[in-house]
């Protein structure tokens, strides 16, 4: 599958939650190999931005253009809670035609948990399981919403490592997090910089 170089472009994006305008005039362009860190307080609109970029919701204004398949990590794992982890991941591995499921599970230190039903996993373990799903998807564009939440130090370092690898392989990663991530070439912006001024909010 030799696809054209991936890109993710937001043009003059504005999003609302309910009646409240969260951000506006947000534009950026990410090309293959780029990593971008979106910071912002809780409720500033990071998740809303990610969902709009993923095409799951329609932005209030502006457009999102994307080249290349997309993988999304958010607080919803997409894994059946009643199934053992290996089978829950196996469903997505089947859809994504993953060749080496064992290697991905081992990479995320999930091998020992293979037979444990997903609902018994801890927050961090669930997050790693969701990362395994993202990794298996082998999509060039990654949208990671709070990938570090609930992870121990070793796993946080692993996320940094995975992002570095993904980007050096020509992938794009956009990471919304209020924790720092060890990716040297990563650019960053604060979503609050695009929040409307109070007077402007009244107009909206």
Partner 1 sequence: MIAALLRRDLAQFFPFTGSGAALPVVFFVAVAMLFPFAVGPDANVMAKTGGGVVWIAALLAAILPLEKLVARDIALGFFDQLRLRGITEEAMMAVRLLAHWLSFGPPLLLATFPAAALLKIEGESFSILLLGLLAGTPGLAAIGLMIAALTASLRAGAALSGLLLIPLALPILIFGAGALARQDHISLGFVGAISLGLAALAPFAAGAAIRAARENE
> Binding of partner 1 at residue 92 (CB under 8 A)?
yes
Residues 55-74 that bind partner 1 (CB under 8 A): 55-58, 69-72, 74
Q: By C-beta, is 77 or 125 nearer to partner 1?
A: 77
Q: In the stretch 125-164, what mask flags binding to partner 1 with x, by CB under 8 A?
A: --------x---x---------------------------
> Binding of partner 1 at residue 99 (CB under 8 A)?
no
| Contact present, 12 and 61 (Cβ < 8 Å) | yes
The distance of closest approach from Cβ of residue 199 to partner 1 in the complex, given in angstroms and rounded to an integer, is 27
Residues contacting 32, CB < 8 A, separation 6+: 5, 6, 7, 140, 170, 171, 172
> Binding of partner 1 at residue 89 (CB under 8 A)?
no
Q: Which residues pair with 63 in a beta bridge?
A: 11
Handedness of CA 190, 193, 194, 200 (dihedral sign): positive
| Contact present, 68 and 141 (Cβ < 8 Å) | yes
Among 39, 77, 125, 155, binds partner 1 (CB under 8 A): 77
Among 9, 28, 91, 150, binds partner 1 (CB under 8 A): 91
Q: What whole-number distance in Å separates Cα of residue 66 and Cα of residue 121?
A: 34
Among 33, 62, 68, 78, binds partner 1 (CB under 8 A): 78
Q: Which residues pair with 144 in a beta bridge?
A: 73, 175
The distance of closest approach from Cβ of residue 51 to partner 1 in the complex, given in angstroms and rounded to an integer, is 8
**Helix (H/G/I), strand (E/B), else coil: 116:** coil
Residues contacting 86, CB < 8 A, separation 6+: 101, 105, 114, 115
Give the number of residues in contact with partner 1, rule: CB under 8 A.
Answer: 25
The distance of closest approach from Cβ of residue 91 to partner 1 in the complex, given in angstroms and rounded to an integer, is 5
- Read off the tokens for 142: 């990654």
Laid out side by side, the sheet with 35-39 consists of 70-73, 141-145, 172-176, 35-39, 187-190
Residues 34-53 that bind partner 1 (CB under 8 A): 51
Q: By C-beta, is 60 or 189 nearer to partner 1?
A: 60
Residues that bind partner 1 (CB under 8 A): 51, 54-58, 69-72, 74, 76-82, 91-92, 94-96, 133, 137
């Amino acid at each position: 599958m030799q696809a054209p170089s991936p890109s993710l472009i937001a043009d003059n994006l504005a999003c609302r939650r309910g009646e409240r305008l969260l951000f506006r005039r947000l534009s950026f362009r990410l090309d293959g190999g780029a990593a971008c860190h979106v910071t912002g307080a809780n409720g500033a609109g990071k998740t809303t931005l990610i969902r709009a970029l993923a095409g799951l919701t329609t932005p209030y204004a502006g457009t999102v253009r994307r080249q290349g398949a997309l993988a999304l990590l958010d607080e919803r794992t997409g894994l059946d809670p009643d199934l053992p982890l290996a089978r829950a991941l196996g469903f997505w591995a089947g859809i994504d035609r993953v060749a080496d499921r064992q290697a991905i599970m081992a990479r995320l230190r999930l091998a020992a948990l293979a037979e444990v039903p997903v609902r018994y996993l801890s927050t961090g373990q669930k997050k790693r399981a969701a990362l395994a799903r993202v990794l298996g998807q082998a999509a060039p564009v990654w949208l990671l919403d709070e990938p570090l939440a609930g992870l121990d130090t070793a796993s946080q370092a692993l996320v940094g490592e995975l992002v570095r690898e993904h980007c050096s392989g020509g992938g794009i990663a956009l990471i919304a997090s209020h924790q720092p991530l060890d990716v040297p070439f990563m650019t960053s912006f604060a979503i609050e910089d695009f929040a409307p001024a109070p007077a402007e909010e009244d107009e909206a």
